[in-house]
Structure 1
């Protein structure tokens, strides 16, 4: 949802529900999740329904909306954390009802949602966009290690731990530095190595790089899922003397002994222990239980939708986008910028009684992959790992890191996010120009 930690406490949400919300509510469109996907869909729906009486509600218990792509900038010392979040009520579009409630279950046969606070919400149409869960508890010892700054263990995947990343980078003068990426699906799959490259760049600026042995331990078999960029990043890894521990999945952290334990997936899961002086961890990630255990989920726990239309494969009045959906693309904010207009167009078509859905999503996603200070590899691709590059016809292949791309990530994208994206006027590679569907 708007926060991976779902920051509003359940007790606070229950108080809200008992004092201000009747036990049953109905809306024409209900959106579960006030993160990037949910808020963007709400804003675009309102714009499309100008002059009509829209009846839209968002369910999300979080108090804060986070610009999560900015956490890499915070961890690299490029931006303050304060610039990467806003109160959620300030982000939800005016005219959209907000319920700060925790969804406990879906009943799509009856078009209803139960919440932990005892409020039933019914709908005519449902958009499911609660994001995914960063499962820090999925690695033994990690939660405890993150709570103690002295351990030199940190992660850019939480607003509670991201500032410690920069502190740890600046304090390391020598020793062994390990950066991890888990096996399986993670949001922004390039982020685990963005912080690797930025740390190396900072250590070079500080004159200590030659004193530090760096390793990238990933549960995957390559540096990136798209072959074109994987090769370019592998070349960087070799050039910059970073040890590659491929198919090594972190399973436990012993902060006291400063030992990280991995399972070597290429060797039958054999355990491999590595000492560290600096450890950056990306936790395993999974669907929220209230999604995974619902009738809306596929076998893997994601909302089961058509990968082109974003419509549910069984319930025609249900749509999904973003990290919670089953669409087999990279889970990034950039993907949402292309998914949202498709979903909104197809939702409105369904609401008007049309069976044919013309808007099609091609799997576009982007990973603005920082490779150091003043350089960034702008990875853009669609389904099948096929590059779909916006600037290549002007600048050449985007596997080459460029300063222009660095400033897009650092300076332009945060501004666009707060001023256009969540207000429903940003369409990814199309900029401010909304796509037109036949």
Structure 2
């Protein structure tokens, strides 16, 4: 597909016509220079960066949620390490001052006419668009899952939601033996390490606190063919699961919950029903329906098609993407968003000035995975699974540093640096303390 230069020319002409294209509230909607769709980590970070270089009232953030969640905190809530109240703050407090927050959600994209229509029927005209919608949990793709999650005594839980994270902690504390199953789907999801993190923490809690691990069998069923996508870290995780007597089944995808049993499908299409006393589910995930419906913006799976380095759309040059909703082949984590937001904001500003995007995203992502309440590993890598570690030691080996980072450093960086557009990832730290890299 070629770039749609007509859309970019229309944006440039609009800028020339209006001079500075300030936000204007119209009878049926709004007009702005930059529209940010989504108020998650990527949307807030890019909006903050742009607001320092542009007039804030030239920017609109379209986001329906009243609260902003720090999602990596969900696993700590589920393990009893942090209270639920620490995972969120009011959306208004994390958005940059002066930026217009439209508390509504996108219903329809019309990139050829530079328009987004909201659920309430408002029309937002833009010159440049940033799509930062993330992905949604598709609970209903697994029959019986939503009902089981909402039933207090089902033993079924997940950390991929703030509300269900609290239930997960209740299920872990109340577990008294039997079969505990943890799942990960074969479809693309965010933070693949989180599903294992809560498993290791639950195992440690059952060993140390209530001392009933000998009465439990733990199984990890993943829809994928490997335990972790990077061989160096997978090797250490294999050692961890072996030492904890955790059974791992590959290419085994959860497809239904039926009468107290979890139904899995293996790589040959054979269905297997397993009884459980505790079931942690990582739900399948996909981009929001409003994005998937706009075929000119997305691939077959519904992800925004962008250049994996510049994060500019492959057809519409005035459209950019950041975070989990894009089709970039990196692991979807908050660490990836930190680097992406720095790249995309600079490239977007270049395009506003009529220049081509010059900054490149290298695929950086990180997964700081706690393997117990006191230890963990820190995986860091780029595109093509190239290792890119920050610290001058082997981060694949279990150590105590990751616990301190998860509990204190990362939350501070998220709320005070990333969302304010002041954190570009650990590259500068790496150059200081580990100049040779790994």
1:216 corresponds in structure 2 to: 220
CA displacement at 1:380 relative to structure 2: 0.6
CA displacement at 1:371 relative to structure 2: 0.5
Paired positions, count: 405
1:428 corresponds in structure 2 to: 425
Q: Are the structure 2 counterparts of residues 343 and 39 from structure 1 closer, same or farther at C-alpha, using a change threshold of 3 Å?
A: same
CA displacement at 1:432 relative to structure 2: 8.6
TM-score (norm 2): 0.90
CA displacement at 1:54 relative to structure 2: 5.5
The range that moved more, 409-418 or 57-66, is: 409-418
- CA distance in 1: counterparts of 2:62 and 2:252, whole angstroms: 38
CA displacement at 1:433 relative to structure 2: 11
Q: Are the structure 2 counterparts of residues 100 and 146 from structure 1 closer, same or farther at C-alpha, using a change threshold of 3 Å?
A: same
- Are 1:271 and 2:271 matched, yes or no? yes
2:30 corresponds in structure 1 to: 25
CA RMSD of aligned residues (A): 1.6
The range that moved more, 195-204 or 53-62, is: 53-62
Unaligned runs of 5+ residues in structure 1 are 1-19
- CA distance in 2: counterparts of 1:332 and 1:114, whole angstroms: 29
- CA distance in 2: counterparts of 1:81 and 1:22, whole angstroms: 40
- CA distance in 2: counterparts of 1:426 and 1:192, whole angstroms: 26
CA displacement at 1:95 relative to structure 2: 1.0
SS of residue matched to 2:337: helix
- CA distance in 2: counterparts of 1:21 and 1:281, whole angstroms: 45
- CA distance in 2: counterparts of 1:60 and 1:99, whole angstroms: 6
- CA distance in 1: counterparts of 2:408 and 2:32, whole angstroms: 38
2:104 corresponds in structure 1 to: 101
Q: Deviations over 1:173-232 (max 9, x none)?
A: 211100010112110011111100000011111211111100001101111111111121
CA displacement at 1:22 relative to structure 2: 3.3
1:188 corresponds in structure 2 to: 191
- CA distance in 1: counterparts of 2:223 and 2:301, whole angstroms: 18
- Are 1:333 and 2:330 matched, yes or no? no
CA displacement at 1:157 relative to structure 2: 0.8
1:202 corresponds in structure 2 to: 205
Mapping 1:36-435, distance limit 5 Å: 36-49=41-54, 55-206=58-209, 207-254=211-258, 257-265=259-267, 268-294=268-294, 295-355=296-356, 357-391=357-391, 394=392, 396-430=393-427
Q: Deviations over 1:308-365 (max 9, x none)?
A: 000000111100010111111011110000001100111111111112x221000000
- CA distance in 2: counterparts of 1:420 and 1:116, whole angstroms: 32
Q: Deviations over 1:140-163 (max 9, x none)?
A: 100110111111111101112110
Contact 2:56 2:98 in 1 (8 A): no
Q: Are the structure 2 counterparts of residues 80 and 22 from structure 1 closer, same or farther at C-alpha, using a change threshold of 3 Å?
A: farther
- CA distance in 2: counterparts of 1:433 and 1:225, whole angstroms: 23
TM-score (norm 1): 0.90
CA displacement at 1:24 relative to structure 2: 2.3
Unaligned runs of 5+ residues in structure 2 are 1-24, 432-438
Q: Are the structure 2 counterparts of residues 433 and 405 from structure 1 closer, same or farther at C-alpha, using a change threshold of 3 Å?
A: closer
SS of residue matched to 2:254: strand
CA displacement at 1:48 relative to structure 2: 3.4
- CA distance in 1: counterparts of 2:60 and 2:398, whole angstroms: 42
